Amino acid sequence: MAFLNDHYLKLKAGYLFPEIARRVNTFLERHPEAGRRLIRCGIGDVTEPLPEAVRAAMHRAVDELGRRETFRGYGPEQGYEFLRHAIAENDYRRHGLDIADDEIFVSDGSKCDCGNILDILGHRNRIAVMDPVYPVYVDTNVMAGHTGEAQKDGSYEGLIYLPCNETNHFVPKLPSQPVDVIYLCYPNNPTGAVATREELQAWVDFARRHEALILFDAAYEAYITDPAVPHSIYELPGAAECAIEFRSFSKNGGFTGVRCAFTVLPKRVKARSESGDFLPLHPLWNRRFSTKFNGVSYPVQRAAEAVYSEQGQKEVAALVRHYLGNAAILADALRQTGLGVFGGTNAPYIWVKAPGSRTSWDIFDKVLHELQVVITPGSGFGAEGEGYFRVSAFNSRENAEEVARRFSSLLW
């Protein structure tokens, strides 16, 4: 007899984005004529074509694979040296951050990395997540058996939720109870907030005091426009002893379909074994890659490398400017309707307070039915998100302007 993983049965009905897709499909089945007007500002998926420098590098790599002399089979599981070097050099060492090439692990996505990292962490950790939260951090902990059952408000027993709201500018206060693993995401998905140097330093100091581990998701780092905001957790003294950073080419280079990301795991980051030894996590993560992964494909790694070329950097900057331009248009339109609008200046997401006492899903349905615009209901990201909705700025300029016009005409 085979047994299933019972922890999966604790998961709530659907992952947020499939649930949104289900509701949109039902709406379209009933109103097929609305399909042509539908504009999606829900899931944060890029819309603009891949940079030319990236495409050219991919073409060249494919041609290499087509010749016997330059053909390559399996690559190193952790990523080719050329890409690990380009990342460590350009994203870290050039900014004075001491990260070695072999502390970079190239993968097929930050969502996967955020889930896979649990493989190397123990089951006794007290896990803290922000609320609202990117659902992947929560669901992967449920799957791994780190939580109890789901409660009425959608939260899970056993997880420590750190409220993020207007009062704390969407940056959580240090917890009053002990925690061992803390997920932080800045620029934040879903609120679009950023954390200051002082706020992040307080978390790093907390983690070091308590031998805790910070899992820092910096997937939206390219969107930071405020020069005072840190781009990497390693800008904070002490972080290289207590933090793992996740980054991605999805939202800067437009790789959501191409798939390439990386984790940074400094060799100084340690955690306790059951027998009480304080050991580095790097060999475990390295071992996990060798055993369970065969690396990202060669053309994709060459494409990612091209992001760091002079032309690649220019093209990526233009893409980011484009999406931030959309965010400004959308945020202005929403603000003019009198709503509380957050984010959108250092992140591609706008976080909006729904009018009155409407629930987030009420607003989702209203906006879908009346405007044929898909947004993301805030409550899908956690109890603190109730009463909010998220608008993604990943779109064409034409669509962003059209959505802005439609929002201006909406009678709440």
By C-beta, is 189 or 286 nearer to ligand MLT?
189
The residue type found at 25 is N
β-pairing, 243-248 with 261-264?
antiparallel
Residue 240 DSSP code: G
Listed residue (104, 110, 157, 163) closest to 137, CA to CA: 110
Contact set for ligand MLT, span 170-199 (CB under 6 A): 189
Rank residues 61 and 319 by Cβ distance to ligand MLT and give the closer one: 319
Shortest distance (Å) from residue 344 CB to ligand MLT? 14
Both tokens assigned to 187: 């620029």
Task: Give the nearer residue to ligand MLT in terms of CB position, either 111 or 302.
Answer: 111
- Minimum distance, C-beta of residue 245 to ligand MLT, in the bound complex (Å): 16
Considering the complex, what minimum distance in angstroms separates the CB of residue 42 from ligand MLT? 7
With vertex at residue 330, the alpha carbon angle to CA 326 and CA 334, rounded to the nearest 5 degrees, is 170
The residue (of 43 and 143) whose beta carbon lies closer to ligand MLT is: 43
**Which residue number is nearest to ligand MLT in terms of Cβ?**
44
Q: Nearer to ligand MLT by C-beta: 133 or 239?
A: 133
Contact indicator for 287, 78 with CB cutoff of 8 Å: no
Which is nearer to ligand MLT, 41 or 53 (by Cβ)?
41
Q: Does 44 bind ligand MLT (CB under 6 A)?
A: yes
Long-range contacts of 322-325 (CB under 8 A, 24+ apart): 322/48, 322/397, 323/46, 323/48, 323/223, 323/348, 323/393, 323/394, 324/223, 324/225, 324/348, 324/393, 325/397, 325/400
Per-residue x/- track, 303-342, ligand MLT (CB under 6 A) = ----------------------------------------
Least distance in angstroms from the C-beta of 21 to ligand MLT = 12
Q: Which region among 38-46, 235-243, 276-284, 336-344 touches ligand MLT (by CB under 6 A)? A: 38-46
- Binding characters for ligand MLT, 109-128, by CB under 6 A (x = yes): --x-----------------
DSSP 10-44: GS-SS-HHHHHHHHHHHHHHH-GGGGGG-EE-SS-
Using the contact rule CB under 6 A, the part of the chain among 39-47, 85-93, 97-105, 282-290 near ligand MLT is 39-47
Residue 295's CB: how many other CB atoms inside 10 A? Answer: 20
Please, what is the minimum distance in Å from the beta carbon of residue 74 to ligand MLT? 27
One of 11, 34, 43, 160 touching ligand MLT (CB under 6 A): 43
Residues 234-293 that bind ligand MLT (CB under 6 A): none
**In the bound complex, what is the minimum distance in angstroms from residue 185's beta carbon to ligand MLT?**
10
- Shortest distance in whole angstroms from residue 247 CB to ligand MLT: 12
111 vs 322 by CB, closer to ligand MLT: 111
Number of residues that bind ligand MLT (CB under 6 A): 5
CA angle (228, 231, 233) in 5-degree steps:
110
Q: Tell which positions 73-112 bind ligand MLT, by CB under 6 A.
A: 111
- Which range, of 43-51, 262-270, 316-324, 351-359, touches ligand MLT by CB under 6 A? 43-51
* Smallest separation (angstroms) from ligand MLT to the CB of 326: 15
Contacts of 260 (CB under 8 A, 6+ apart): 106, 107, 108, 109, 248, 249, 250, 253, 296, 300, 301, 303, 304
CA 289, chain centre distance (Å): 21
Tell me which stretch binds ligand MLT (CB under 6 A): 41-49, 89-97, 113-121, 221-229. 41-49
For residue 51, give the DSSP letter: P
CB of 273 to ligand MLT, least distance (A): 32
CB contact burial 369-406 (16+ within 10 A = b; e otherwise) = eebbbbbbbbbbbbbbbbbbbbbbbbbeeebbebbbeb
Query: In the complex with ligand MLT, which residue's Cβ is closer, 259 or 366?
Result: 259
Question: 331-342 burial string, b = 16+ CB within 10 Å, else e?
Answer: bebbeeeebebb
Rounded to a whole number of angstroms, the minimum distance from the CB of residue 378 to ligand MLT is 12
What is the nearest approach in angstroms of ligand MLT to the Cβ of residue 43? 4
d(CA 99, CA 233): 12
Distance CA 59, CA 228 (A): 38
Q: Do 30 and 363 meet the contact criterion of CB atoms below 8 Å apart?
A: no
Alpha-carbon separation of residue 266 from 92, 243, 360 (angstroms)? 12, 8, 40
203 vs 246 by CB, closer to ligand MLT: 246
Contacts to ligand MLT by CB under 6 A: 43-45, 111, 189
